[in-house]
Amino acid sequence: MSLTGTMNTAVSGMNAQSSRLSSISDNIANSDTIGYKRSKVSFSSFLLPSTGGSYESGSVESILGRDVSVQGELTSSTTSSNIAISGEGFFVVQSMQGQEFLTRAGDFEMDSNGDLVNSAGFALLGYSYAKGVPANQINGLSGLDRINLRDELPRSAPTKNIGFSSTLDVRKPLIDATDLPRTNTSTAKYDHKTSVTAYDSLGREVRYDVYFSKKKEAAAGPPAVEMEWDVSIFRADKATNGGFPYTGVPTNNSATFTFDSQGSVTSAAPSISITDSVTVPAQTIKFDFSKLKVQAAEFTPTENNVDGHASSWVTKASIDKDGIVYAVYSDGTRDPRFRIPLANVQSPDHLEALSGNVFLPTRESGTTFTGFPGEGIFGTTLSGKLEKSNSDLASELTDMIQAQRNYTANSKAFQTGSELMDVLISLKR
């Protein structure tokens, strides 16, 4: 055994612990970095052959790696476009230069161009609904576009369907056929009235008055007679002094519906499809009354489901557990625009880590394969959540103390070898 070998071994030990301390420093510095994966340094012995009863000291090798496959803690976020992956998989992102990477950093927000970009400047990629229903390409990243939700102009959608859910009061009096609202005369009578707001093709609000009138009582028979209620629909802005008669009456604006002894609609098609010619172009709206009920209770319109919406701008993005990205408009409506795929490799811990919490596949990690969230091995996407760093501050500080002690011990071995070298040199004096 040579003294220089002893000193070299001690130096390799100090270098190894120095690398470990550098890794710990990175982990502590990034303990609050979204999507950060802790680095780690493990050690392997390097032995030299020993001959003639003399031990030849070797050294220690540092092996660098990352705990990429270990998920960090999920935390809540007030931004709907922030997303986290619960389970396996990575987001596919693109740099400003157009290169594609993998990441778990999901702190995406809309930038001035409408792209969903995280804090490191990488844009999220997905399949566009503008090209048809998204279909995943398992073994490649082609066909992906930058997720952009910018609209050059406000968007509106005309109402096509209105669904009513209301209770009609069976105790109300009968209305004579000559006085029903469908006659549209100044003497028209009714039992209930409600209004609903729809939208035309330009996003303008159009309010409709809906009248309910009990037309016929049920009778046991024979033959049995079911209860009848008459329903009529008019444009509210065409009322005369707030009531009948109305001008510009929609076509097919009235219908009679029958109800059984339980108060449920029995008509074959309990709906009215009006054509409003006052709106340009003429607008056809289907009013669905299949959820009407007749009971001995006060008239209660519990729910009116109206599609279409007023002119509005995209204000934010929202992402569901299946990875569908919605453009959320100022009026609250949502429009599916993209679907996010998740990517993975056979050995995530062997991905190459780069600045910005992004990764590239390597020969050791295996090739990239993709799938949609919630399918197969892939996790789900959680909107309004973020994945924190997977480095634990308490564990890192504990490792730091161990690395410090090991470094000190190696330095003592080097110091001892140096002192013995001084003794050897002094023999010549």
Please spell the DSSP secondary structure of 255-302, one letter per residue: EEEEE-TTSBB--SS-EEEEEESSSSS-EEEEEE-TT-EEESS--EEE
Pairing of strands 293-295, 161-169: parallel
Helices and strands in the chain: count of H runs, count of E runs: 2, 32
Domain residue extents for the chain: 3-70+390-426, 74-153+314-387, 155-311
| Predicted local confidence at residue 304, as pLDDT | 78
What pLDDT does 136 receive? 72
Torsion angle of C-alpha atoms 138, 142, 143, 146, degrees rounded to 10: 110
Give the C-alpha separation, 273 to 136, whole Å. Answer: 39
Give residue 394's identity as a one-letter amino acid code. Answer: A
On whether the CB atoms of residues 254 and 233 are closer than 8 A, the answer is: yes
Q: How many residues does the chain have?
A: 429
pLDDT at 44: 78
Query: What does the pLDDT read at residue 422?
Result: 81
pLDDT of 6 reads 78
Tell me how far apart the alpha carbons of residues 216 and 225 are, in angstroms, rounded to a whole number: 9
pLDDT of residue 134: 76
Q: How far apart are CA 228 and CA 238, in angstroms?
A: 27
Residues in the chain with pLDDT < 70? 1, 50-53, 55, 139, 152, 428-429
Distance CA 354, CA 154 (A): 39
Task: Pinpoint the alpha helices (H) of 117-219.
Answer: none
Q: Which of 253, 274, 286 is nearest to 180 (CA)?
A: 253
Distance CA 55, CA 33 (A): 47
Residue range 155-311, CATH number: 2.60.98.20
Q: String of b and e for 311-343 (b: at least 16 CB within 10 Å)?
A: bbebeebebbeebbbbbbbeeebebebbbbbbb
pLDDT at 157: 86
User: For the whole model, what pTM was predicted?
Assistant: 0.66
The rounded Cα 362 to chain-centroid distance in angstroms is 29
pLDDT for the residue 410: 84
